[in-house]
Amino acid sequence: MRLVRYNGGRIGLVKGTDVFDVSAVVGAGEGDWPSVEMNRLIRNFTTLRPQLENLAATAMPIPLASVKLETPVPWPNKLMAYPVNYHDHATEMKSTGFANVQGYFLKASSSLCGAGDQVVLPKLVNREIHHECELAVVIGKECRNISVDNALDHVFGYACLMDMTIRGKEERVFRKSYDTFTPVGPWIVTADEVGDPTQLDMKLWINGELRQHANTRDLIVGIREMIALASTASTLYPGDLIATGTPAGVGPMVAGDIVTIEIEKVGRMSLPVVQGDIGSNFVFDRTVKESA
C-alpha cells in the first residue's frame, strides 16, 4: 500500500496514477494542527487497513498529478539519522566517524518537506549545500531495546529521503536542520510491498545527471541494526523516521537545479531548488570571517 499526505493534510491511498481520499478513516482534515493523523494511522494500521481499502474502493479517483504531495509524517516524535554509513562516502569525505562508531544524531522535524515542495537554500556566503540520497525507515510500533532479529517487525514502511547539508565544521544538527532540508516522500510504501529492504537500489540526479548510485546491501550498519541500536537509547514510536545514510557522490546544489531521487520498490520524486533570502546568522558569518 502507498499512503500519501496531500492538499493541506488529506490522507490518500495511491493506486496507479490516482489518489483515493481515505482521510475520513482517521479524521484527517485540511488545516489540522498538529497534523498527527498519519501517526495514528500507522499505530492502528492493522485494525484500519480493511477500512482504508473499503473506502478507497468507493472513493472517486483523483489524478495524482493534480495534488500537492506533502511530507507523509510531518510530526514524528523523532527524526533520526545515521552519519557516514557507506564506505565509499567515508572515503570521499575523508571521515572515520562511521555510524558504527558514532551512532545516530537528530534533525529538527521542522526540516521536513514533501515531494510537492521546494528545497530553499539559505542565504549564506561561501558555503556549499550538498544533497544526500537516503532511504527512510518509518517505525510502526512503539518499542524499546529490541533485538536485531526482531527489528523489521517494528517497521511500518519506507520512503525516499534527501538529507540536505551545509558543509562545514559546525554542529551537524545545526547544518542539517534548516527548513526544507529533509524532503521525504513521495509516499510511504508499506513494508509488505517492499519485502527485503537490504537489497534496494537507490539513485540521485541533479538536472538529469546521475550523482549518486548505491544499494542498501552496502550499508556499514544495516537496517535491522540501525533500528535495534536506536532502540537501546530511545523508545521508538509509530511515525518515527530513520534516515539510513548516504553513499558517495554528494555534491553542491544551486538555485535552479532539479534534484531527483529514486529508490527501488519505494518511489521517485523531484524537487526544484530555489534561493531563499533568509538563513544567515552570526555563527556562519563568523566562520566565513575567520577563514578569510
Which of 70, 88, 115 represents a domain boundary (last residue)? 70
The mean per-residue pLDDT over the stretch 133-147 comes to 98
Q: Is residue 110 part of a domain?
A: yes
C-alpha cell at 138: 518509518
110 and 63 part of one domain: no
Q: What is the pLDDT of residue 291?
A: 42
96 and 157 part of one domain: yes
163 and 217 part of one domain: yes
Which of 46, 70, 94 represents a domain boundary (last residue)? 70
10 and 133 part of one domain: no
Distance of alpha carbon 155 from alpha carbon 150, whole angstroms: 10
37 and 160 part of one domain: no
Q: Is residue 273 part of a domain?
A: yes
Q: Is residue 159 part of a domain?
A: yes
pLDDT of 176 higher than 60: yes
The predicted-structure confidence for 63-97, as pLDDT tens digits, reads as follows 999 999 999 999 999 999 999 888 778 788 677 77
> Where is 140: in which H helix or E strand?
none
Prior bond of 34 cis (ω within 30°): yes
Confidence of residue 113 (pLDDT cuts 50, 70, 90): very high
Which of 36, 53, 70 represents a domain boundary (last residue)? 70
- What is the sign of the dihedral through the CA atoms of 64, 41, 193 and 112? positive
Q: Is residue 160 part of a domain?
A: yes
The predicted-structure confidence for 235-253, as pLDDT tens digits, reads as follows 999 999 999 999 999 999 9
59 and 176 part of one domain: no
Q: Is residue 292 part of a domain?
A: no
107 and 232 part of one domain: yes
Q: Is residue 290 part of a domain?
A: no
- What is the sign of the dihedral through the CA atoms of 206, 260, 73 and 138? negative
Domain of residue 270 covers 79-279
Confidence of residue 292 (pLDDT cuts 50, 70, 90): very low
Q: What is the mean pLDDT of the chain?
A: 94
54 and 153 part of one domain: no
pTM for the model: 0.95
C-alpha cell at 100: 558504527
The predicted-structure confidence for 46-60, as pLDDT tens digits, reads as follows 999 999 999 999 999
Q: Is residue 104 part of a domain?
A: yes
65 and 201 part of one domain: no
The mean per-residue pLDDT over the stretch 14-32 comes to 91
150 and 221 part of one domain: yes
pLDDT of 290 higher than 50: no
Confidence of residue 206 (pLDDT cuts 50, 70, 90): very high
Q: What is the pLDDT of residue 289?
A: 46
125 and 243 part of one domain: yes
Number of domains the chain is built from: 2
Cβ–Cβ under 8 Å, residues 130 and 252: yes
Of residues 32 and 41, more confidently modeled: 41
Q: What is the pLDDT of residue 4?
A: 98
With a pLDDT cut of 70, the percent of the chain lying above it is 98
121 and 183 part of one domain: yes
List 157's β-bridge partners, or say none: 138, 190
Q: Is residue 288 part of a domain?
A: no
Confidence of residue 287 (pLDDT cuts 50, 70, 90): low
C-alpha cell at 185: 516522500
